[in-house]
């Protein structure tokens, strides 16, 4: 259901807005104007306030997930280790796919006991010119360069932002939550602020709100609003996660996207988080993320 007050909650916007770091209220979807100056732009990370510990972990989990949580490899690669008999549980080689580990079990790989990592949730305000991947064969800068001091655990981006898109990006080693946040069936909300090369025609604005047919299907938005008098700044709420979906919507109508900033993801926002900086999620934020799916299930 569309929010009748969606447009009012963004507040006035114009060309000067790019100089500010507006905060976004996840409950009210409201951008609260300019933040205080943060001084020269740096790549230093934020101090971590109250990092979230494991939340509601199951007592018994699949062996491949346990191995992945121990930071050895991905679940897919863990299946290969299990198939090859390289993993032992309580001294016995386990070849069964789907085997579940119980509390107190001793899991070993190459003679070493594996311990599950705690779940870590890192929120990054991504700047331009960083690739959303764990490594890049061409040697380009990745988001992992920005969060390398965030934790010792192996974390991965949840979804992706393209190289020229800025804004909120979550990284975690919680594979189950990551899968839920990126699965289309959960319709996780994302809010973007878009700057166009020219004013958006009223007819095209109506087309966007009603859905645009692209080469890979209908691109339906949850809501849209004009943010500035010159009609070049647009607010867009969307749950689709298809590649470059926001840019392609506007490109299909003959517009170039000058700047694209994700201000909200699953209710998380970039309040007090300057561009290029990160912070750990607080416990209450992790709980809210997990309750998001529980509430929809109910």
**CATH code where residue 208 lies:** 3.30.70.1560
Q: Which of 31-35, 157-161, 271-275 has the lowest mean pLDDT?
A: 31-35
162 catalytic? Reply is yes
DSSP 204-253: HHHHHHH-EEETTEEE--SEEEE-STTS-EEEEEE----TTHHHHHHHTT
Gap between the Cα atoms of 201 and 225, Å rounded: 13
* 68 and 106 together in one domain: yes
Domain count, the chain: 3
| Strands (DSSP E) found in 4-60 | 24-25, 30-31
**Domain match, 231 and 89 both:** no
**Looking at the domain assignment, is residue 286 inside a domain?**
yes
pLDDT bin (cut points 50, 70, 90) of residue 118 is confident
Total-model pTM: 0.71
**Residue 74 pLDDT level (bands cut at 50, 70, 90):** confident
Do 177 and 280 lie in a common domain? yes
pLDDT at 95: 93
pLDDT 10s digits, 161-210: 999 999 999 999 888 889 889 988 889 999 999 999 999 999 999 999 99
C-beta of residue 271 within 8 angstroms of C-beta of residue 28: no
Question: Is residue 146 assigned to a domain?
Answer: yes
Distances (CA, A) of 260 to 4, 247, 276: 24, 8, 15
pLDDT at residue 154 greater than cutoff 90: no
User: pLDDT value at position 72?
Assistant: 81
- What range defines the domain where residue 173 resides? 118-185+271-298
Asked whether residue 53 carries a pLDDT value surpassing 70, the answer given is: no
Q: Tell whether 152 and 138 lie within a shared domain.
A: yes
Residue 268 neighbours by CB under 8 Å, 6+ apart: 26, 123, 168, 170, 281, 285, 289
Closest CA to 264 of 70, 25, 17, 1: 25
Mean pLDDT of the region 156-163: 94
Q: Are 147 and 171 in contact (CB under 8 A)?
A: yes
65 and 161, same domain (yes or no): no
User: Of the candidates 70, 86, 113, which is a domain's last residue?
Assistant: 113
pLDDT value, residue 3: 59
Q: Is the pLDDT of residue 140 over 70?
A: yes
Tokens of residue 293, six digits: 């799916």
Same domain, residue pair 170 and 298: yes
Verify that 259 and 278 share a domain, yes or no.
no
The reply to whether 88 falls in a domain is yes
Please report whether residue 147 resides in a domain. yes
Same domain for 67 and 82: yes
**Is the same domain home to 200 and 215?**
yes
Predicted confidence at residue 45, as pLDDT, reads: 42
Give the best-scoring range by mean pLDDT among 4-18, 68-82, 196-210: 196-210
Same structural domain for residues 151 and 297? yes
| pLDDT mean over 92-104 | 91
Residue 108 sits in a domain whose CATH number is 3.10.290.10
Within-domain flag for 179: yes
Whether residue 291 is predicted with pLDDT greater than 60 in this model: the reply is yes
Q: Is residue 1 part of a domain?
A: no
Model confidence at 149: pLDDT above 90? yes
CB atoms within 10 A of CB 243: 9
Please name the residues in contact with 203: beta carbons below 8 A apart, sequence gap of 6 or more. none
What's the mean pLDDT when you consider all of the chain?
83
Task: Select which of 3, 77, 129, 162 is catalytic.
Answer: 162
Q: What are phi and psi of 235, to 5 degrees?
A: -100, 135
């Amino acid at each position: 259901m569309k929010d009748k007050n969606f447009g009012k909650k963004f507040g006035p916007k114009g060309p000067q807005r790019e100089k500010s770091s507006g905060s976004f209220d996840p409950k009210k979807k409201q951008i609260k104007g300019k933040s205080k100056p943060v001084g020269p732009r740096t790549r230093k990370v934020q101090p971590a306030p109250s990092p979230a510990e494991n939340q509601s972990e199951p007592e018994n989990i699949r062996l491949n997930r346990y191995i992945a949580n121990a930071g050895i490899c991905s679940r897919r690669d863990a299946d290969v280790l299990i198939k090859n008999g390289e993993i032992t549980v309580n001294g016995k080689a386990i070849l069964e796919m789907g085997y579940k580990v119980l509390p107190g079990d001793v899991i070993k790989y190459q003679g070493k006991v594996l311990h599950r990592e705690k779940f870590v949730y890192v929120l990054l305000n991504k700047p331009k010119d960083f690739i959303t991947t764990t490594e890049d064969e061409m040697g380009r800068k990745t988001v992992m360069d920005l969060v390398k001091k965030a934790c010792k655990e192996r974390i991965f981006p949840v979804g992706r932002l393209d190289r020229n898109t800025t804004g909120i990006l979550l990284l975690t080693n919680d594979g189950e939550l990551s899968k839920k946040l990126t699965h289309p069936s959960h319709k996780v909300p994302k809010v973007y602020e878009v700057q166009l090369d020219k004013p958006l025609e009223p007819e095209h604005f109506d087309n966007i709100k009603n859905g645009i047919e692209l080469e890979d299907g209908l691109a339906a938005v949850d809501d849209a609003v004009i943010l500035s008098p010159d009609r070049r700044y647009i607010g867009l709420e969307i749950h689709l996660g298809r590649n470059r979906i926001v840019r392609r919507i506007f490109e299909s109508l003959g517009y170039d996207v000058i700047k694209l900033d994700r201000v909200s993801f699953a209710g998380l926002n970039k309040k007090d988080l300057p561009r290029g900086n990160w912070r750990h999620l607080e416990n209450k934020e992790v709980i809210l993320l997990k309750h998001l799916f529980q509430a929809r299930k109910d």
